[in-house]
Structure 1
Amino acid sequence: MLHPLPDLVAPAPALIFAAVCFALFLVLDRLVAHDQTRQFDRRWLTAPRYPSGKPRLGIGWAPVMRGLTQLGGPVVRYAIAAPLALWLWHLGYPDSALWLVAALASGWIVDGVIKKTFKRKRPTLVPRLARAGGPSFPSGHTLNASLVYCGLALAFAPVLGPTGLTAALIAALTLSLMVAFSRVWLGVHWPTDVTAGWLVGTGWWCLALAIGQCWLGH
């Protein structure tokens, strides 16, 4: 059973926060669909670049950003989540392990469905510094970074304890925002893409938390 969590992430607040995230995503979707974010997107996509298109931080940062962005990619997230779920089961927390697998698997399905529904093209305003394919909205790397790393923090609550859980959630959210920044910095996503991805990913693990806590008798 999941460790009793702080009130901040108890079922009721988690449901409310999930609803807020999903509502903001729907608003953002409508704004993007009606091309009302063009100025915002163009401004913040080009902010990290010189007029020539070169990164202000220097091209030497490209490998760092590519490495960071891979933390939200499919290979890395599977490589991290799968063994940790098995380890959690081995530690004697099968309910937490099953919750983690269900939360991540359902979130990945949602990601795929949304990608196919909202077929936004990727930016071509600045040179891309990493390979990327498929629709642009929302950012799957950002969505999954929030979902996977926050989900792992919550699943390991029995091991971490309240203080460790709080620290792990802060670290996970920070990491997801860093992945989001790397996607824009590399020129493969519009800023509203990563914002939407973060909202869906964060909202999904909050929803999964509320459902899981009720299921496990929190």
Structure 2
Amino acid sequence: MNALKQLNLKALFAGALVFAAWAYATFSGFLEGFDRWGLMLFRKETDGNSLPIGPEGTPDIVMAVTHMGDTITLIVVSLALVGWILSKHSKTLAIRCAAAITGVFLISPIFKFLFDRDRPDIVEQLAHASSKSFPSGHALRSAGIYLILYVVLSGFLSVRGKQVLFTITSTVIVLTSISRVYLGVHWPTDIVASWIIALTWLYFCKKLLTLRTP
């Protein structure tokens, strides 16, 4: 019961409203121009919009970046985080952290099933993607996991350490998310929706993750 009281229901409700408004704007076609603009921002205006911007090796670099949001990568990060917490003899925090992380992994396929949005078809897709488009699993999971990592570890760091960790995690989240649009496998609105969901989940669970009960 004490754990349930720590859940931020107001954040969940507010996030749900924001997400509902964004989803409505997306699927009503109101943001279609934004989606097209965001995708074409990373394409040259020649060769049928199939050539990405940047030097020849840029797509390979972006592919390396996008792997920071892969399921396997994030599972390794998650296990390392939970293992580190356990090594500090904080079993309660480890369990709660594992529960919050599990939620992140479960949310994405649920929303993909509910919205059933097709991947972009106006540019060439430079990476393999078989699931539905809305929201972006890479963006949602990377934002959720890396933000959970920041919230948990920041409680053990100095002010300077918090600043450095926040800079690193936020940079990884943004680059991973943008890489999905660059590769042509997600609409920009998919990315924003993923961020809304991840932030809502974080604030929903935040008090649980900052509790230090051994």
Same fold (TM over 0.5): yes
Matched with 2:79 is 82
Deviation at 1:139, TM superposition (A): 0.6
**Greater mean alpha carbon deviation, residues 165-174 or residues 124-133:** 165-174
Assess if the C-alpha contact under 8 Å between 1:88 and 1:156 holds in 2: no
Check the 8 A contact 2:152/2:209 in 1, yes or no: no
Evaluate the alpha carbon distance shift between residue 163 and residue 99 of structure 1 in structure 2; reply closer, same or farther with a 3 A threshold.
farther
CA–CA distance in structure 2, aligned partners of residues 177 and 96 of structure 1 = 27
Is residue 2:48 matched to residue 1:48?
A: no
Give the gaps of 5 or more residues in structure 1: 1-10
Query: Structure 1 residue 42: deviation in Å?
Result: 0.6
CA distance in 2, matches of 1:123, 1:47: 14
SS in 2 for 1:159: coil
1:95 counterpart residue number: 92
TM-score under structure 1 length normalisation: 0.84
Aligned CA RMSD, in angstroms, stands at 2.3
Query: What does 1:107-118 align with in structure 2 at a 5 Å threshold?
Result: 107-118=104-115
List per-residue Cα deviations over 1:177-196 (Å, max 9, x = no partner).
11111000000000000111
Q: TM-score, normalised by structure 2?
A: 0.86
**Is residue 194 of structure 1 aligned with residue 191 of structure 2?**
yes
Matching residue of 1:204: 201
How many residues align? The count is: 205
2:34 partner amino acid: F
Using the alignment, how far apart are the partners of 1:154 and 1:212 within structure 2? 7
Note the C-alpha offset of 1:17. 6.1
Q: Does 1:126 align with 2:120?
A: no
Shift of 1:211: 4.4
Q: Distance in 2 between matches of 1:133 and 1:38?
A: 22
1:57 positional shift: 0.9
Segments of 5+ residues of structure 2 without an aligned counterpart are 1-5
Residue 18 of structure 1: CA displacement? 5.8
Q: Quote the offset at 1:163 in angstroms.
A: 3.6
